[in-house]
Structure 1
């Protein structure tokens, strides 16, 4: 059973559209650089 999610790598064909999509899901953009973006799933929580 999955009890949490620490990290996931999801290749996408259009980064800008994907950023919009994940923001609509309520995720906060943590970092963006050229061809990659990181989102907070639960900000400030470790483990």
Structure 2
């Protein structure tokens, strides 16, 4: 599991394929903006102590 990552910007050539890849790794899709930008959670609602 990934720990300690808050935010990352990853340019991709195929958004649909990339979303499938990252959701298969366990990330949760939050939303898509204009079919060119996707927001995914590693651990949604996790609070940092």
Deviation beyond 6 Å, 4+ runs, structure 1: none
Count of paired positions: 45
Q: TM-score, normalised by structure 1?
A: 0.84
What is the aligned partner in structure 2 of residue 15 from structure 1?
Answer: 15
Q: Give the deviation of 1:31 after TM superposition.
A: 1.1
Spell out the pairing of 1:21-32 with structure 2 (5 A cutoff): 21-32=21-32
Q: Give the deviation of 1:45 after TM superposition.
A: 1.4
Unpaired stretches in structure 2, ≥5 consecutive residues:
none
RMSD: 1.2
Unpaired stretches in structure 1, ≥5 consecutive residues:
none
What is the aligned partner in structure 2 of residue 4 from structure 1?
Answer: 4
Q: Distance in 2 between matches of 1:21 and 1:12?
A: 12
